[in-house]
Structure 1
């Protein structure tokens, strides 16, 4: 079955064996594991401070060794911990699949939250806390499924490299990127990978659709630097670094980036048009906007993938009210579509102007892979076995994942952390947001889908 076909009909699922008497199943364990991971503060401030991932990695090691597996623990720097284990598959002639997650989270300001962000509290059928969706939920699903398989003596269809990385929230320098550069042997024979921010459901015109991530924008974190003539704040100064910088920041922040539909985005919008009956003209911004709006809360994710973006995020200048500084700086979070990096950079240089130079803080590739093939078909079938009648569509992630690092080894990455969500839930707002939370039923749904996928993919 092609990934582009209607997947409402599929063969009946092959159920996983029941766990041996006295042992919990993945569905029994996943909520507890998610809560316990959230309670381990792994905030990543991106500047070398923070608790690191060691405590979470040691917890993961314990869960894996308890069921007879032999994971490898390694640190790129003190406290920046990673865990990898290879599961032997039934067919060892096939290329391996990498199933990976990250253990770090972005910081949370407790005073902004209605619950303690590191409590892992369960209320109203939801698990609350930093990392509940990004991505300790998927980490918990991976661990719960693998633990049940190990207890039951079941092997995945092919070798699976199970990896838990550090530092994804700061570009993966101390996690996936370090592992790829220094321990490529861990991924020997792997050709495909699955990880976060895909496989979640949205409601489109009354029908549930699952968005499978087949592309992600590239990253360009940039510093703008303006130099000028320092002097007394009371004097006329036409070479003011702050003025130069402020003008550049305003031009960049207000720039109307042109519409640019990549193949993945166009295929998504055509799918939405088929589900809704709305017209689609890729050259008409109004029809594009209507289709994006039809995705409900997910429109925030998708809307950011219609064009390049560049948002000012930090400013720094001066040290005293009456001193004009000789230097002013800003940081820009640039995100470029696959194939559009040169357009982003040339436009930013033009907008910055001659008084402001651009320095690259961090750059990483954009990715786009086909919405077709055996793995895509297996992901769709696993979803539809649990939710018959739903649709499966590709989409582009506006952010980035550790699939960027694995791509250096020629590994094709997809976003697939399966969650069946309430139609009104603003899932995109949960990422790096206040009161991050995930439904417990969605976690249990996810382990059923993931177990099925590992048996068939």
Structure 2
């Protein structure tokens, strides 16, 4: 029974209790999961810090304390863009001869960096305040890591014996080069060959603004991730002698044109089905736009509404947006170069060459040079396997949330794409339930509702038992 249930039953107010005092009323497993969460949030596993090995060491210690052996744990080292990182794989082995092929469960240990000067709270300290956990990675993806790691440990301590192997596969540079991701996917395909792959890094329950459960989202496809650098070079000169051409101005003009350009509307059977189902339970104008678009993807009013909402714009087609800038070399000199990073999320079926060609045409300035900075992975849609859907339904039922289960296409990118291209059905099914307005992944003051953290801790526990329990 949680605190809110107790207060309702007894007519008491617990407003005087601190988060630490409330935590004492949590179950042993809830407290243990929170300890893991607090520790991994504190490790700054961002680019340039080389802290992933520290997180690996901590997690390995927790797994070994629970009874996992050296044979169950595999640590791999990688060089990702000149930085040292690691991957971690942990096997929960079947009892005797497995009755089914293994299931791989993905997550990533690295995070996008956060600067303390920009945040309202220290980004690498778990802060519980106003009903939320704040900190970098509280959502992306250290909640997923905490949830699946604590579930493995919980089941091991209980002595559970599955009828198939489960393998946690944690990458160390998903937010950057994905070197560990690619290598792990190669290893999994060659040495494990799972029946399917599950991912902690997307999906999950969707709440309305007033907290009512709307539907459970299953990520079954991803857009293609591609990053370009746009560079303008110039002879420069003294700032007291301005030129008619200026690298910064030329680049600014190019970025303005990219901002104003809208890529053509795209859709697939999956995205139309997703809009139809989510529109049925989404209130207001946005829900109507979803339904209208699913019936007629050429509906201009619906398109305008969907493209004006950060939660749905990416599902309607390719997007490209400026994310970084660098220019000039001195305050009293004309810039000799100016460079912008433009990140694109490309709709499945639209090739990278087509996007680059369109951007160059939109910019219409030969002085702006385009360079593709990323390895591009175009992945197919995954099937929603009946046994996985049944396991999700069981997890939802255990929480009393018998909401619709809706597939969707991810506008972002995850490790899952590298398993899809190898032919494995890969779906992301986080245990968290969130309001769209609470999603601050990669941004300032990232957070996860305290209720979402604790409420999702049985998610993987139920799913694993459903997928590998007694028949």
Fold shared per TM-score above 0.5: yes
**1:191 touches 1:410 (CA, 8 Å); kept in 2?**
no
Count, aligned residues: 421
> 2:348 & 2:61 partners in 1: Cα distance?
39
Q: Do the aligned partners of residues 244 and 372 (structure 1) sit closer, same or farther apart at CA in structure 2, a change above 3 Å counting?
A: same
1:452 to 427, 437, 462: 462
Aligned pair in 2 of structure 1 residues 40, 233: CA closer, same or farther (>3 Å)?
A: closer
1:455 and 1:136, CA in 2 relative to 1: closer, same or farther beyond 3 A? same
Change (3 A) 1:387 1:186: farther
- RCO greater where, 1 or 2, for CA within 8 Å and sep 6 or more? 1
Q: How has the CA–CA distance of structure 1 residues 330 and 79 changed in structure 2, closer, same or farther, with 3 Å as cutoff?
A: closer
Distance in 2 separating the partners of 1:272 and 1:332 = 30
* Partner residue in 2 for 1:192: 197
Please list every run of 5 or more consecutive structure 2 residues that lacks an aligned counterpart in the other structure.
1-26
236 and 110 in structure 1: CA distance in 2 versus 1, 3 angstrom threshold: closer
1:259, distance to aligned residue in structure 2 (A): 2.0
Select which of 329, 341, 353 maps to 1:331: 341
**Aligned: 1:203 with 2:213:** no
1:135 lines up with 2:141 in the alignment? yes
Give per-residue Cα distances to partners, 1:221-276, cap 9 Å, x unaligned: 11112334444555574554444433222211221222222332211111133336
Match of 1:400 among 403, 413, 436: 413
CA contact (8 A) 1:168 1:401 kept: yes
Shift of 1:352: 3.2
1:169 aligns with 2:168: no
Checking the alignment, whether the CA contact within 8 Å between 1:273 and 1:291 is kept in structure 2 is: no
User: CA deviation digits over 1:49-86, x for unaligned, max 9?
Assistant: 21330111101101111111131122214741221022
What residue number does 2:117 align with? 111
Q: Determine helix, strand or coil for the equivalent of 1:399.
A: coil
Q: Does the residue aligned with 2:315 lie in a helix, a strand or coil?
A: coil
In the alignment, the residues of structure 2 paired with residue 285 and residue 374 of structure 1 have an alpha-carbon distance, to the nearest angstrom, of 39
Q: 1:84 aligns with which of 83, 89, 96?
A: 89
Answer whether contact 1:180 1:408 (CA < 8 A) is retained: no
Most deviating of 55-64 and 412-421: 412-421
Query: Match for residue 357 of structure 1?
Result: 369
Query: Against the structure 1 CA distance between its residues 382 and 240, is the aligned structure 2 distance closer, same or farther, given a 3 Å change threshold?
Result: same
Structure 2 contact 104–194 (Cα < 8 Å) conserved: no
CA gap of 1:172–1:442, structure 2 versus 1, over 3 A, is same
Matches of 1:111 and 1:233 in 2, distance apart?
A: 32
> Among 267, 274, 283, which residue is 2:280 paired with?
274
Instruction: Give the 3 Å change call, closer, same or farther, for CA 118–237 of structure 1 in structure 2.
Output: closer
Give the structure-2-normalised TM-score.
0.81
SS of 1:76's equivalent? strand
Q: Distance in 1 between matches of 2:306 and 2:338?
A: 42
How far, CA to CA, are the matches of 2:393 and 2:375 in structure 1? 32
Distance of 1:413 and 1:387 partners within structure 2: 26
Kept in 2, the 8 Å contact 1:67–1:147? The answer is yes
Structure 1 stretch displaced more, 278-287 or 354-363: 278-287
Residue among 263, 266, 271 paired with 1:265: 271
Distance 1:157 1:431, change over 3 A: farther
SS at match of 1:286: helix
SS in 2 for 1:63: helix
Equivalent position of 1:420 in the other structure: 433
SS at 1:223 equivalent: strand
**1:242-257 matched pairs, under 5 angstroms:** 242-257=248-263
| Alignment partners' CA distance in 1, 2:387 and 2:448 | 29
1:64 aligns with 2:70: no
- For 1:84, what is the secondary structure of its paired residue? strand
Residue number in structure 2 paired with 1:370: 383
What corresponds to 1:221 in structure 2?
227
Corresponding residue number in structure 2 for 1:153: 159
The answer to whether the 8 A contact 1:366-1:404 is kept is yes
Which stretch shows the higher mean deviation, 210-219 or 180-189? 180-189
Give me the whole-angstrom Cα distance separating, in 1, the residues matched to 2:453 and 2:39. 14
Residues 176, 405 of structure 1: 8 Å contact kept = yes
Which residue, 398, 404, 411 being the options, matches 1:391?
A: 404
Give me the whole-angstrom Cα distance separating, in 2, the residues matched to 1:371 and 1:190: 13
